Amino acid sequence: MTIILEATGLRVEYGKTVALDDFSLTLAAGDLLGLIGPNGAGKTTSLKAVAGLHPLDAGRVRVLGSNIEPGNVLAQSRIGFAPDTPPIYEELRVAEFLRFIGKAYRLRRDMIEERIDFWLEQLWLLDRREARIKTLSRGMRQRLTVARTLLPDPTLILLDEPASGLDPAGRVQFRKLLGSLRDQGKALIVSSHILADLHEYCTHIGIMEAGTLRQFGTVAQVVGGKQDNRCHYRVTLARSVPDAARLLSEMGGLTRIEVHGRQISFEYEHEAGAAAALLARLLREGLPVASFAPVEHDLEQAYLRTGIRQVD
């Protein structure tokens, strides 16, 4: 297992505000960390700190064993950071902009042209190759920022809210792209508020609040859906049943029962036999069950369990 990122005790202060405190984590090749937390939690600051774009008040970042510090250009060139509000050169054409980036990284001319075509295709922007950047939509700009970040072939990829402007088809495509980057042995950190998307493609989740990493682990560890052999269930009824909540609470063994019209959720034993017996019982009690499913990984529930108040 190749360790790509080691961040140890990172601290960033803005005057009296501690934007990041004791931020530590390690990522290996193929790891994809989803970073979540409310506005102002420190997600952007942590990405900038890891990228070496912000002076640290304490701590150390190592990428592939080299310290990230001013002057260590080689180590920094292994990191690709895509900010959520990228500086964009409005008057340049798409390919021109990427060529400029390639030259800044001192890539060979033929390699630059090859990579421009490759990444424009990967980010489905080929038909905009000669368009001026000022004519691009928000989602297209975001994709161009990702292309710009990947062009120099970084090993550690940091994407700040990359999916927020993407349309539904774009998100599916983007997931595939992240999967292929993982397969190539890159390590990635992606900050996002779109929890449903994140749990599908991340290997790890970090939950931030007030500058600290409150939780960090694999998706299964953080979601913890199978803790105590219990998990979250979602049931949809064919029609709403006025006394469903009472019926469920009298069955015994169900906790965190919530009924909203035809939608029901609760926690119960995870084991398949117990689930089958419960479903049979729901039907015997006369509940018109249209669908019944344990939720294996529910990041939203895990997030809400932390007690952190809001993801917008």
Using CB under 6 A as the criterion, which residues of the chain lie in contact with ligand ATP when the complex forms?
14, 17, 19, 37, 39-45
Q: How far is the CB of 194 from ligand ATP (least distance, A)?
A: 12
Q: How far is the CB of 159 from ligand ATP (least distance, A)?
A: 12
Q: 191 with 159: CB under 8 angstroms? A: yes
Q: How far is the CB of 164 from ligand ATP (least distance, A)?
A: 10
Q: How far is the CB of 42 from ligand ATP (least distance, A)?
A: 4
Q: Which residue, 19 or 94, is less far from ligand ATP as judged by CB?
A: 19
d(CA 4, CA 16): 32
Q: Which residue, 83 or 152, is less far from ligand ATP as judged by CB?
A: 83
Residue 92 gets which letter from DSSP? S
Q: How far is the CB of 83 from ligand ATP (least distance, A)?
A: 10
Rounded to a whole number of angstroms, the CA Rg of the chain reads: 23
Q: How far is the CB of 33 from ligand ATP (least distance, A)?
A: 14
Q: Which residue, 2 or 17, is less far from ligand ATP as judged by CB?
A: 17
Q: Which residue, 268 or 303, is less far from ligand ATP as judged by CB?
A: 303
Q: Which has the closest alpha carbon to 187: 29, 8, 61? A: 29
Q: Which residue, 45 or 155, is less far from ligand ATP as judged by CB?
A: 45
- Map residue 255 onto helix, strand or coil: strand
d(CA 224, CA 306): 12
Q: Which residue, 48 or 78, is less far from ligand ATP as judged by CB?
A: 48
Q: 86 with 141: CB under 8 angstroms? A: yes
Q: How far is the CB of 309 from ligand ATP (least distance, A)?
A: 13
Residue 224 gets which letter from DSSP? -
d(CA 295, CA 28): 28
Count of alpha carbons within 13 angstroms of residue 267, beta-carbon side: 15
C-alpha distances out from residue 3 to 28, 73, 207, Å? 4, 20, 21
d(CA 28, CA 17): 31
> Which residues fall within 8 angstroms of residue 90, CB to CB, at 6 or more apart?
132, 133, 134
- Map residue 271 onto helix, strand or coil: coil
Q: How far is the CB of 54 from ligand ATP (least distance, A)?
A: 9
Largest Cα–Cα distance in the chain? 72
Q: Which residue, 16 or 260, is less far from ligand ATP as judged by CB?
A: 16
Q: Which residue, 16 or 239, is less far from ligand ATP as judged by CB?
A: 16
Identity of the amino acid at 285: E
Q: Which has the closest alpha carbon to 47: 147, 160, 155? A: 160
